[in-house]
Amino acid sequence: MTKFKVNSLLLPMKAHYFLFNGGTAPVVPFMSTFAKQLGFSSVVVGTLYTVLPVAGMIAKPLFGGLADRLKWHKKFFMTFLALTGILFFLINFTPGTELAPRESGIDLDCGAETFFKTCNQTDDCALTRLLANTGNKTIRCQIDCPTVSGNEWNTELCESWGLSQYCKSAADHSLSFEASVPTIHTIQVKDCLYFRVKTAIFEEKSVVPYCNKAISTSPCRVTCKEPVVNDVLNVRTEEASATSWSFIYFAVLMLTAWVSMAVVTSIGDAICFDLLGSKPENYGKQRVWGSIGWGVFSVLAGFLVDEFSKGRTEKNYSVVFYMTLVIIALDFLVSTRLKVSHTQMSASIVRDIGRLLSRPEINIFLIWCIAVGMCTALIWNFLFWFLEDLAAAQGCSSLEWIKTLQGLVMGIQCFGGELPFFFISSWVLKTIGHIHAMSMVLFGLSLRFFLYYWLVNPWWVLPIELLNGVTFGIFYATMTSYASKVAPPGTEATIQGLVGAVFEGIGVSMGSLIGGILFNDIGGANTFLAYSIATFVLCCLHVAVQPLMRRSNAGDWQPQEEVKEYALTAMYASPQDAIQMLEEQQDELTAR
């Protein structure tokens, strides 16, 4: 009977993938909708997500190269891991995201009864929620009027409200009091919402506010302690500026956190391949734990956001930031157990990379990585945005569970898509080869986008997400394993950084910018249709160009001895085929 053995050397690596992906899952997917809630447009968000991958593109080969040169893989890895958790957590304190009530401008009307009113600035969903929940509840609101002008107000405050301080002169005075507001008396008249002030509470006395003569004053400021009222009073009427302090704070933290996350991913993959040694095809079996972590904590995060946001129009994201801080802290502790040797080092990293990039088949591989990156950007950054638009179109009640749905989307992507395909990625690559795997990825993306185009009910997105196994699981395993196979000795982290930078820094960056502009100009559904058509054309082009590549390579298998040493003559084939050809060349060289 064969006993099941756990490889203790790889166990911390599996734990890292589980915790790191699980720690970033609560925040990364929700950042575009978090920015939307802050008031930033799709163009602004798309532009930000254009810069983020470029920063990652620069950081990955830069710090990967430094790690290779200085042999500081674990030092860099641990430092940037800690930064990732801290920086993402600080985004929680972006100005304008506080859950405490904020001041809003209102008019104060006094007559037989006193009301404060707000006009032309109420959100339909917030208003529906308020009017549906106006039970027999009394809330407290602080009302401040900088000045109450004219003899009429002074007279009424003196005589009707019994405030002696307004009896001494006819000069303008400020008015500040706490209002007792019964929500059952809230009424809507055309575009205005009226809240009745039952009692005005001053420092020394409480009065029933009424005026013998109908008068009004504005502008006054109101701050209420009830979320459902506060949501109605605090709806943004304009999109937030990209030059505002709120955006600058958010963008700087996102940029630095993104760089840290990119470096951890790149060097982490290099450490993983170093631990795998002569079995890089087992990478998928390690990386699959990242998918499990992502799936588990993303579903939990979506559910918790909805739970903590009950009774509110805007979502309370605070819980996901605390989740990230705690889980990344656990990952830091686990990662201290990683054993990193990495003794190989290239004599000339720049020379070796230059030779690698001189091969046309390698450049074609990178070009298709860029194409997939452009498509992936649309899913990563704007799918949730699109789902929220669909939910809003179905009615305000649909927004109550939108974060739970989004969490389930990520769960299906991981458990129904990535997880099984990471397990079979090695078999897929050996069976169909690199060329057909890339064609399959492009076709899967085209089909996925076309199905998004036809979506009406956001819940139907769940079965579509099963395609994520092909469009990301197979693609990512192919990209990283191929990079590992062709990397000259001592440049593993650099090559992983380079390939990851091409995918995200160029592909995802361009896709974010184009996607943000298209979402703003033609809408979400038409954007997905345009991407579907473009991806199908690319798939056909990828298939058509392969016969030309085979003919081009047929008479070009005469590599020089120096080039053979560094695996720079790998054909544009599956990673397993490429390494086999290299071994055959080495045998020929030895025989000579």
Structure tokens at 361: 């088949």
Residues 6+ apart with CB under 8 A from 130: 183, 186, 193, 228, 229, 231, 232
Q: What whole-number distance in Å separates Cα of residue 30 and Cα of residue 352? A: 39
φ, ψ (nearest 5 deg) of residue 140: -110, 135
Report pLDDT for 284: 67
Report pLDDT for 265: 84
Question: Helix (H, G, I), strand (E, B), or coil: what is residue 212?
Answer: coil
Task: Name the nearest CA neighbour of 229 among 140, 307, 164, 315.
Answer: 140
Q: Write the pLDDT tens digit of every residue in 377-414.
A: 899 888 988 998 888 777 666 677 888 888 888 888 87
Confidence of residue 76 (pLDDT cuts 50, 70, 90): confident
DSSP string for 367-418:
HHHHHHHHHHHHHHHHHHHHHHHHHHHH-GGGGGGHHHHHHHHHHIIIIIII
Give the torsion through C-alpha atoms of 205, 211, 214, 220, to 10 deg. Answer: 0
Task: Name the nearest CA neighbour of 256 among 405, 122, 17, 91.
Answer: 91
Give the torsion through C-alpha atoms of 451, 457, 461, 464, to 10 deg. Answer: -40
Q: How many other C-beta atoms lie within 10 A of the C-beta of residue 24?
A: 26
Is residue 576 within 8 A of residue 484, CB to CB? The reply is no
Report pLDDT for 583: 40
Q: What whole-number distance in Å separates Cα of residue 260 and Cα of residue 87? A: 9
Q: Tell me whether strands 104-110 and 215-224 are parallel, antiparallel or unpaired.
A: antiparallel
In the chain, % of residues over pLDDT 70:
74
Strand order, beta sheet including 192-197: 187-189, 192-197, 114-119, 104-110, 215-224, 138-148, 173-182, 199-201, 206-207
- Kindly tell me the burial class for residue 121, based on how many C-beta atoms sit within 10 Å of its own C-beta (0-12, 13-18, 19 or more): middle
Is residue 475 within 8 A of residue 441, CB to CB? The reply is yes
Size (the chain), residues: 592
Q: Quick check: 31 pLDDT over 50?
A: yes
Give the torsion through C-alpha atoms of 35, 38, 42, 46, to 10 deg. Answer: -40
Summarize the confidence of residues 131-139 as an average pLDDT.
68
Q: Quick check: 552 pLDDT over 70?
A: no
Q: Write the pLDDT tens digit of every residue in 141-191.
A: 888 887 776 677 888 888 888 888 777 766 667 888 998 888 777 887 877
Q: How many other C-beta atoms lie within 10 A of the C-beta of residue 83?
A: 18
Summarize the confidence of residues 13-24 as an average pLDDT.
89
Domains assigned to the chain? 14-97+239-341+348-554+563-585 (1.20.1250.20), 104-233 (no CATH)
Q: What whole-number distance in Å separates Cα of residue 161 and Cα of residue 337? A: 72
Which run of H or of E encompasses 176?
A: strand 173-182
Residue environment code for 445-484, b if the CB has 16+ CB neighbours within 10 A, otherwise e: bbbbbbbbbebeebbebeebbbbbbbbbbbbbbbbbbbbb
Q: Write the pLDDT tens digit of every residue in 282-297.
A: 776 777 788 788 888 9
Alpha carbon distances (Å) from 67 to 76, 151, 436: 7, 76, 34
Q: What whole-number distance in Å separates Cα of residue 565 and Cα of residue 486? A: 11
**Residue 443 pairs with which residues in a beta bridge?**
none
Structure tokens at 172: 């303008």
Task: Name the nearest CA neighbour of 285 among 421, 423, 415.
Answer: 423
Report pLDDT for 587: 40
Confidence of residue 341 (pLDDT cuts 50, 70, 90): low
Confidence of residue 564 (pLDDT cuts 50, 70, 90): very low
Q: Roughly what angle, to the nearest 10 degrees, separates helices 419-453 and 524-554?
A: 120
**Residue 232 pairs with which residues in a beta bridge?**
none
Q: Write the pLDDT tens digit of every residue in 486-543.
A: 666 666 666 666 777 788 778 888 888 898 889 888 888 999 999 999 999 988 988 8
